[in-house]
């Protein structure tokens, strides 16, 4: 896939239009963001009980430029859990959708993220422009993400595709690989959007069907989202489907959409007209480009529940080099997982999924020994458990389980438990 010519990300022209300039430049973008940020600060102080209390000792008149933005405190996951409804800047009658995210622990209130109709339209607009990176009018796009609920990620994506004449094939999360492959053979989509590990499961079943004489599917691109995306998974999907594999970075707090890789397939161009991005150190101060820190964002255009300096807990950095697609937009490097994770799960992903046939894993860290269960589709691979153990960056004992069936596959979030 490296021989394909690099095309300018369509986000550049979209953002230029949104900030009302003929040609996008970084100074013009920063000037726009600075003006909107100051307006947002006054907006939340006037309308939100939470922000009034948070900024009671902050002199807003002293926040004059982007460099001053780090004077404001960070907000975090716990603020959403404890004070989410107090962050609202509109009345309940203006709330169009509420997304509830359960606590990852055994206790704690769930997060509730509120969106107005116009907030969700912003996401549809981003999806519509971001998807033209890999698809065009007349193409079919198979959506293997939740599609049932109005306003959910699959529904918003389907709506966005219709805006430029692409056809959405709304399926939902993978529940039956044979059914998914049958649909792909029948409809012949140009693009598939999916969770990375679920797409890997489909890929291995597809590869088996090709060995049995099935006519290959000619995909143009795969877009992976909703989880960390290991390069080893991308390489496997590229090998099996012979197409580009793009990445999307986003979370519900961002409005489901954050950034998408361009034709260069390195890092993400971000929805800079809707969100201001920072990478900060432990004290909340912005780090130089190229240094790793915590990804922080501020919503610029959201009405219902604006988030000001929301610390994501994700580890990342901005790339120093200009993107080879030719865009002036900054490029966020691949996110390196969670800062609070006891182990480097992205590093484990890269290692474990590089072994052909591995579909998932769960583990426990006990007495500094990693007890890892690896799930595979079937025996017949060329590696042994000891081959994985010796390349892991921890003392490890590995168990391999086979027989992942093509249906009713309930993917659990990969995690390492501590004992």
Percentage helix, strand, coil for the chain under 3-state DSSP, each rounded to 5: 35, 20, 45
* pLDDT score for 79: 95
Select from 40, 34, 94, 43 the least CA-distant residue to 66: 34
CA atoms within 13 A on the CB side of 139: 21
Q: How many CB atoms lie within 10 A of CB 367?
A: 7
3-state secondary structure of 269: strand
Tokens matching residue 27? 């100074």
In this prediction the pTM is 0.93
* pLDDT of res. 401: 87
At residue 403, the pLDDT reads 76
Are 222 and 241 in contact, with CB atoms under 8 Å apart?
yes
Q: Are 184 and 220 contacting, i.e. CB atoms less than 8 angstroms apart?
A: no
Phi/psi for 393 (5° steps) reads -80, 20
4 CB burial (10 A radius; 0-12, 13-18, 19+): exposed
Asked if residue 194 lies in contact with residue 144, where contact means CB atoms within 8 angstroms, the answer is yes
Looking at domain 1-340, its CATH class is alpha beta
The per-residue pLDDT for 61 is 80
**CA nearest to 208, candidates 382, 388, 408, 356:** 356
Beta strands in 250-368 (DSSP E): 259-260, 269-270, 275-280, 293-299, 310-316, 358-366
User: What pLDDT sits at residue 4?
Assistant: 53
With both helix axes pointing from N to C terminus, report the angle between 345-352 and 231-241 in degrees, rounded to the nearest 10.
30
Q: Where are the domains of the chain?
A: 1-340, 345-418
- Distance between CA atoms of residues 37 and 326, nearest Å: 27
How many Cα atoms occupy the beta-carbon half-sphere of 320 within 13 Å?
A: 5
Low-confidence ranges of the chain (pLDDT < 70): 1-5, 102-108, 404-413
């Amino acid at each position: 896939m490296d021989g394909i010519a690099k095309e300018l990300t369509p986000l550049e022209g979209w953002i230029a239009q949104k900030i009302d300039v003929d040609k996008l430049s970084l100074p013009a973008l920063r000037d726009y963001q600075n003006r909107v940020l100051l307006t947002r600060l006054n907006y939340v102080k006037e309308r939100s009980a939470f922000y009034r209390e948070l900024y009671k000792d902050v002199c807003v008149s002293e926040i004059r430029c982007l460099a001053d933005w780090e004077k404001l405190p960070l907000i975090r996951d716990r603020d959403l859990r404890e004070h989410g409804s107090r962050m609202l800047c509109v009345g309940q009658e203006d709330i169009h959708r509420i997304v509830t995210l359960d606590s990852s622990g055994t206790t704690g209130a769930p997060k509730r993220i509120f969106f107005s109709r116009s907030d969700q339209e912003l996401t549809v607009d981003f999806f519509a422009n971001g998807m033209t990176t890999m698809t065009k009018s007349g193409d079919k796009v198979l959506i293997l993400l939740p599609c049932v609920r109005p306003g959910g990620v699959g529904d918003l994506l389907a709506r966005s595709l219709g805006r430029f004449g692409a056809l959405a094939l709304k399926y939902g999360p993978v529940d039956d690989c044979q059914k998914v492959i049958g649909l792909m053979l029948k409809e012949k989509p140009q693009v598939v959007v999916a969770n990375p590990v679920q797409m890997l499961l489909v890929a291995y079943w597809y590869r088996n069907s090709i060995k049995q004489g099935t006519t290959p599917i000619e995909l143009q691109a795969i877009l992976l989202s909703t989880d960390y995306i290991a390069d080893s998974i991308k390489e496997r999907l590229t090998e099996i489907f012979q197409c580009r594999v793009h990445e999307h970075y986003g979370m519900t707090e961002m409005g489901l959409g954050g950034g998408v890789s361009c034709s260069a397939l390195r890092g993400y161009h971000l929805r800079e007209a809707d969100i201001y991005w920072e990478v900060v150190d432990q004290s909340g101060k912005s780090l130089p480009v190229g240094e790793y820190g915590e990804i922080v964002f501020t919503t610029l255009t959201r009405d219902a529940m604006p988030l000001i300096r929301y610390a994501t807990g994700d580890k990342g950095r901005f790339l120093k080099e200009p993107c080879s697609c030719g865009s002036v937009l900054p490029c966020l490097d691949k996110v390196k997982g969670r800062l609070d994770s006891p182990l480097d799960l992205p590093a484990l992903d890269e290692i474990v999924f590089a072994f052909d046939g591995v579909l998932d894993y769960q583990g426990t860290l006990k007495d500094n020994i990693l007890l890892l269960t690896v799930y595979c589709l079937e025996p017949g691979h060329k590696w042994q458990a000891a081959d994985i153990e010796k390349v892991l960056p921890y003392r490890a004992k590995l168990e391999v389980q086979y027989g992942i069936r093509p249906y009713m596959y309930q993917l659990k979030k990969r995690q390492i438990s501590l004992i």
